[in-house]
Structure 1
Amino acid sequence: MGINTERDIEANLQIGPTDAGMVRLFVEGAGIEIPMDFTPEEAMEIAEEIMAAAHRADGGKGKQRKR
């Protein structure tokens, strides 16, 4: 199994802050719940990786955000 392997599985993703000051990615589906907690710094790195992957996936055609 790899990143390019398609699966016929449905899941929900929730993202939000926790009371402990962490950022939680919560994946729920097919009888399983996976909470993943990250420091705010780690969450920012993950967000940057997601943005970079989205940019690569659309071949650089998407709008770039101004900082």
Structure 2
Amino acid sequence: MGIDTERDIEANLQIGPTDAGMVRLFIEAGTTEIPMDFEPDEAREIAEEILAAAKAAESVGRKKKR
């Protein structure tokens, strides 16, 4: 299975700062909870990757609509 494989799983994503100065991504799916802590610089890099992926997804969506 890859990133393009669709799955029928619901998940909740929460993002926020921790009291230790980290950025936490907290993923909850059913009974599974995954807390992921990142240094602020790492979180910025992740944000840039998300924005780049969103831009790429938009261009794919435009190509399909033509």
TM-score normalised per structure 2? 0.88
Structure 1 residue runs of 5 or longer lacking an equivalent are 62-67
Aligned twin of 2:59: 59
Root-mean-square deviation (CA), in Å? 1.5
The question of 1:35 aligning with 2:66 is answered no
Structure 2 residue runs of 5 or longer lacking an equivalent are 62-66
TM-score normalised per structure 1? 0.87
Where is the helix percentage greater, Structure 1 or Structure 2? 2
Q: Equivalent pairs: percent with the same residue?
A: 74
Moved segments of 4+, more than 3 Å: none
Tell me the matched-pair count: 61
